């Protein structure tokens, strides 16, 4: 396994193809895999995700990845559901996540706005390695019904009736609730920043 391999976790998540395409546009040729050995040997790991948290946890468990992913030492980026899986508790599935980051992922409590939250939204308080070269605010594209309230490792916040974690950074673990692969030039820069860590 090359020390420069970018590995995308294959656990039947819905946005794998778009993440692969975005990586290729940036000059990388990622490997899509559920092999623990390949993931452990990669230089970067991306945990994508669109769909149901319970099915995602079951798939990661079936592939012996629930224990592996939190122990990885290389940079790991969770996208959308992939970011939510980094938290301790997932309300949607009623189960534990990977417990990399303390906190719960809960359903939006707002009754005045449609759920899922879908579309472009201003994101503020940008900080950390994912946002190198950014100002304090940027627009990104979201599609989600569950969210994580801000925690100590929150690296960006978005408001949709209430504040939620739009991005996080905790040691070698990173997350984006938004879809960088669908967020135009700003999203591609976030992904590029991660891949260049």
Residues with active-site annotation:
80, 179, 181
Residue 50 in contact with residue 18, Cβ under 8 Å? no
DSSP string across 99-161: -SEEEEEEE---SSS-SSEEEEEEEE---SGGGTT--SEEEEEEEESEE----TTEEEEEESS
Q: How far apart are alpha carbons 169 and 158 in whole angstroms?
A: 15
Q: Which helix (H) or strand (E) holds 88?
A: strand 87-90
End-to-end CA distance of the chain: 19
Q: How many CA atoms lie within 13 A of 117 on its CB side?
A: 28
């Amino acid at each position: 396994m090359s020390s420069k391999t970018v590995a995308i976790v294959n656990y039947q998540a819905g946005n794998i193809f778009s993440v692969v395409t975005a990586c290729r546009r940036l000059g990388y040729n990622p490997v899509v895999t559920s092999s623990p050995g390949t993931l452990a040997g990669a230089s970067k790991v991306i945990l994508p995700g669109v769909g149901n948290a319970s099915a995602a946890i079951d798939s990661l468990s079936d592939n012996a990845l629930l224990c592996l992913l939190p122990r990885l030492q290389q940079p790991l980026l969770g996208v959308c559901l992939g970011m939510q899986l980094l938290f301790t508790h997932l309300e949607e599935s009623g189960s534990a996540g990977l417990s990399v980051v303390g906190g719960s992922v809960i359903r939006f409590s707002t009754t005045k706005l449609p759920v899922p939250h879908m579309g472009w939204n201003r994101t503020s308080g940008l900080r950390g390695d994912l946002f190198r070269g950014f100002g304090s605010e940027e627009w990104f594209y979201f599609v989600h019904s569950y969210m994580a309230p801000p925690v100590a490792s929150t690296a960006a916040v978005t408001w949709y009736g209430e504040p939620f974690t739009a991005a996080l950074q905790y040691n070698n673990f990173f997350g984006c609730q938004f879809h960088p692969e669908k967020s135009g030039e700003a999203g591609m820069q976030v992904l590029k920043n991660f891949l260049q860590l």
